[in-house]
Amino acid sequence: MREQLKSINRETYEKWSSEIARNVTLTNDWKIANTIGITISGDLEVDTLGLIEKAWSEGKTVCTPKCEHTTKEMNFRKITDYNQLEIVYFSLREPIIERTTPIPHDEIDLLFVPGLAFTKSGYRLGQGGGYYDRYLMNYKGKTTSLAFELSLIEELPIEHFDIPVQKLITNKQVLSCKG
C-alpha cells in the first residue's frame, strides 16, 4: 500500500484530496460538529490542511493529537494557527504544549482517524503505533476516515482491540461502515 500511495503524482494527490474534502463538508457529521479532532497530514495521507482551514473559517474548534511516546497515549490539543505546531519524530507535526490547550475526548464531536488502508466495514491499517486504537477505546463520538479510493481493500487482519470507524470518505464515495 505504501508503494501504491507513493506512486500518486502531485496533481492527482491534490485533486483527490480536494474531492475528499468536498465530500466531507457535505456530510451532516461535518455540518453539526463544533469541535473536530484531526491529524496534520503526513506523507501518504490525504491532505488535511484544507479541511482544517475550512473548519477555522466556519468557526469550528480544531484540535490535533499530541502523542506521549513513553506511554503510547495520545491527547488532543486546540490549535488556532499552524505556528502552534512543532515537528517531532518521523517529521510529524504536533501541537506545542505551551501554546495550546487540551480538549477532552468527550468534547470532540467528529474525530478523523488516519490510516494507510481500509476495509469497507471501517477497519484500518494504521502506521503501527497503536495510538488511535487506545484512544478510540474511550471515545464515544463520531469517527470518520479519509481515504483515496485505491486505499480500500477487501480485508485486513483484525485484532480483538481494533475498533472500526463509522464512516469512510473517499474521493468517489461516502461509506457508512458496519464494523
123 is in an annotated binding site: no
Pull the grid cell for residue 13: 494527490
Check residues 159 and 175 and name the one with the higher pLDDT. Answer: 175
Show the beta-strand stretches assigned E in 96-158. 101-103, 110-112, 117-118, 124-125, 142-146
Arithmetic mean of pLDDT, 165-178: 93
Strands 93-95, 101-103: pairing is unpaired
What is the C-alpha separation between 4 and 126, in angstroms, rounded?
Answer: 15
Look up the pTM and report it: 0.92
User: What's the domain range around 49?
Assistant: 2-176
124 is in an annotated binding site: yes
The single residue listed with the C-alpha cell 487506545 is: 134
Assign residue 93 the CATH number of its domain.
3.40.50.10420
Give the pLDDT confidence of 30-89 residue by residue, as tens digits: 999 999 999 998 777 889 999 999 999 999 999 999 988 888 889 999 999 999 999 887
Give the pLDDT confidence of 2-36 residue by residue, as tens digits: 777 777 778 888 899 999 999 999 999 999 999 99
Using pLDDT thresholds of 50, 70 and 90, give the confidence band for residue 174.
Answer: very high
122 is in an annotated binding site: no
131 is in an annotated binding site: yes
163 is in an annotated binding site: no
158 is in an annotated binding site: no
Coil vs helix vs strand at 104:
coil
Q: How many domains in the chain?
A: 1
Q: How far is CA 65 from CA 1, 7, 11, 18, 103, in A?
A: 24, 27, 28, 22, 10
141 is in an annotated binding site: no
Residues found in the chain: 179
134 is in an annotated binding site: no
40 is in an annotated binding site: yes
5 is in an annotated binding site: no
What is the C-alpha separation between 54 and 115, in angstroms, rounded?
Answer: 22
pLDDT of 118 above 80: yes
DSSP state of 7: T
pLDDT of 169 above 80: yes
